[in-house]
Structure 1
Amino acid sequence: MSRPLTFRMMDTHAGGDVSRIVLGGIDALPGATVRDQMHYLRDDADGLRKLLLFEPYGVPEMSVDLVVPATDPEAAAGYIIMEVMGYPIYSGSNTICTATAVLEAGIVPKQEGVQRFTLEAPAGRVNIEARVENGVVEAITCEGLPSYIDTYRATIHVPGLGEVTYSVAYSGGFYALVDATELGFHLNRDEERELAECAHRIVEAIQAERGFSHYTLGDVGPLPFLHFMGPVEQVADDFYRSRSATYVHPGVICRSTTGTGTSARLALMRHEGTIAPGDRLETISLRETGFIGTFTGTREEGAHTVVENTITGKAYVLGHTEVVVNCDDPLVACGGLHHILSARHG
């Protein structure tokens, strides 16, 4: 028998999306930046992602965040995001969960009141504001990526659906934005499977027709995400609310509304002239959880007006685990693990 491999993990969730935070037991990764280290995992060591997102350890609806030493001297820690579709450079819900985990694990000493620190994502430096009350992390506010509208109200023929109107935003990934009401949805939990099937058809049709290029990143692959938008309700002079649902993978609607989906909504609302700097939008999920996006300003980047924003939410700790990886188990594939997961106890 081979010696089991072990590592430490904290399970968390924000808005219902479970993020498994890997805190120890992983060998140092090569790469001058966290982005480089993400590329190494993606190209040469994808075993950790597959291990924790599929049987017997997990399910595709989860995410994994690997905490690594920061390469940016201003950052307290780095983190690499792993999801069923691959390695996104940024995620709001994963950032909220990781920021909470580094506080709970003592990587960043927890302080009462409001405290600020910086994390390093593959997308770069992310400023964090944490609100701690009686030792409990009650809220995390993190920067959303600068977001913009690439396409406004295009139409496409989707087999089985007919003509569908959509917009496309970039907010950490390219999102198709569609009006849920136009497609006959109320965004209730009992629609979850139908929403996933509908989104998959639309995304496949868009992927077959066209690609998208970011103004600095270039080609970032086929459009992966779709965000269903419910009607917008104004609940105060500077505060709006909307039911929402985000599709990320065949069969998978996120439990939360997602931070990047919320950033995409802010970009669309600014494009349509319905919000001003300082306004907030709360997106409400199928499970009645919410994130609050705040529109903080704009700047011009070439041909695009880029929306600066923050995302606020709360993460909950679900458990602390020492994961044992037994490579003799026929359900466990260890082929992308041995060179990153040492036999030392984390």
Structure 2
Amino acid sequence: MKPELTIQLMDTHAGGDVSRIVTGGIDLLPGDTVRAQMEYLRDDADGLRKLLLEEPYGIPEMSVDLLVPATDPRAAAGYIIMEVMGYPIYSGSNTICTATAVLEAGIVPKQEGRQQFVLESPAGLVQIEATLHDGVVEAITCEGLPSYIHTYQAQIDVPSVGRVTYSVAYSGGFYALVDASELGFDLTLDEERRLAETAHAIVEAIQAERGFSHYTLGDVGPLPFLHFMGPVEHVADGYYRSRSATYVHPGVICRSTTGTGTSARLALMNYQGLIRPGDKLETVSLRETGFIGEFTSVQEEGEYQVVNNTITGKGYVIARSDIVVNCDDPMVDCDGLHHILSSRKKGDVAPSG
């Protein structure tokens, strides 16, 4: 009997961004850190990302998070983030979804009230605080990556758009930050396609003109993201709200405001002197979902003010499933994939991988 190749999944979403959590069916990956395992997956087994984000199994707007054993004894689990643009080392919405999944899967036993645990991302250890009520995960707070403003108020001529003023933040990736109202946007759902087209034109123009280098990581590739910023509303003492939309790939505006986009906004507001440690910013998406970023502290790193922050949101489980990988299917490309799939005969117990 031909072995059946299956992958076990838990589909989740945070703020509307669907994160497909791979809970089993994948062999252990080589590498003594989660970052090294991510690099192996990227360089030698990219078929998993393509399989789960392309037809017939997925769509580009989704993300995939592969659960792996932690390599650091302080962490309960590791995870590798996969998106249509590649392998980001960190993502707030994916971290919220992964933290929710490890609780729902029993990898971390649930505790009523507030509980803390650690996950290992490709960017390093991530502190998690979960809030539970009657066994329901009500909120996840995770660390945002240290974020800073690299470029403030630069200008560029963009074909079909005109002259655009932008700032650039690093918050896990480089983000162009632009004022939505200056480009005629109110950040409503009916503008989604035009937002994606405008963002793509701006990002392409910036990429063609210049590159960016992180103060410790060096060259991390061309600027991939753009964050549209709505007006900032002062809701209460130390609490702000702003409509937001994040572009991540041609044609794709994230359903959520993104955790890294929210971190980038905190870095900009600090740079402008608009917030102080302890203040919070709620970013609101085109679909009226939101994340809350908290500015926790700031330190000087050379010429940069680096903002430490946390991101709070809620993850929802929307499906648990096994998918059958049929490499004979003309719609399925198993190149770069077959060698990491755990094969089993029908009736066998699937490995937890």
Q: Which TM bucket (shorter chain)?
A: over 0.9
Tell me the TM-score normalised to structure 2 length. 0.97
- What secondary structure does 2:343 align onto? coil
> Match of 2:324, as an amino acid?
V
> Match of 1:28, as an amino acid?
L
The runs of 5 or more residues in structure 2 that have no matched partner are 345-349
User: 2:250: which partner in 1?
Assistant: 250
* Contact persistence 1:175–1:224 (CA under 8 A): yes
* Contact persistence 1:2–1:326 (CA under 8 A): no
Tell me the TM-score normalised to structure 1 length. 0.99
User: 2:53: which partner in 1?
Assistant: 53
- How large is the Cα RMSD of the aligned pairs? 0.8
User: 1:5: which partner in 2?
Assistant: 5
The answer to which of 84-93 and 315-324 deviates more is 315-324
User: 1:135: which partner in 2?
Assistant: 135
Matches within 5 A, 1:80-95: 80-95=80-95
Whole-Å Cα distance in 2 between the matches of residues 51 and 338 of structure 1?
11
The ranges of structure 1 where at least 4 consecutive aligned residues each deviate by more than 6 angstroms after the TM superposition are none
> Match of 1:5, as an amino acid?
L
Whole-Å Cα distance in 1 between the matches of residues 68 and 230 of structure 2?
38
User: 2:115: which partner in 1?
Assistant: 115
User: 1:231: which partner in 2?
Assistant: 231
Whole-Å Cα distance in 1 between the matches of residues 335 and 175 of structure 2?
33
Instruction: Please list the CA deviations of residues 118-142 of structure 1 after superposition, one character each: whole Å capped at 9, or x if unmatched.
Output: 0000000000000000000000000
Deviation at 1:4, TM superposition (A): 2.8
The runs of 5 or more residues in structure 1 that have no matched partner are none
Deviation at 1:2, TM superposition (A): 4.8
* Contact persistence 1:2–1:328 (CA under 8 A): no
> Match of 1:37, as an amino acid?
Q
User: 1:213: which partner in 2?
Assistant: 213
Instruction: Please list the CA deviations of residues 277-318 of structure 1 after superposition, one character each: whole Å capped at 9, or x if unmatched.
Output: 000000000000000000000012222110000000001000
Matches within 5 A, 1:1-346: 2-344=2-344, 345-346=350-351
Whole-Å Cα distance in 2 between the matches of residues 201 and 101 of structure 1?
36
Instruction: Please list the CA deviations of residues 320-343 of structure 1 after superposition, one character each: whole Å capped at 9, or x if unmatched.
Output: 001110111110011111211111
Whole-Å Cα distance in 1 between the matches of residues 336 and 2 of structure 2?
16
- What secondary structure does 2:338 align onto? coil
> Match of 2:56, as an amino acid?
P
Instruction: Please list the CA deviations of residues 193-226 of structure 1 after superposition, one character each: whole Å capped at 9, or x if unmatched.
Output: 0000000000000000000001111100000000
Instruction: Please list the CA deviations of residues 6-48 of structure 1 after superposition, one character each: whole Å capped at 9, or x if unmatched.
Output: 1211000000000000011110000010000000000010010
> Match of 1:297, as an amino acid?
S
- What secondary structure does 1:339 align onto? helix
> Match of 1:230, as an amino acid?
G
Deviation at 1:264, TM superposition (A): 0.1
> Match of 2:245, as an amino acid?
A
Whole-Å Cα distance in 1 between the matches of residues 36 and 312 of structure 2?
28
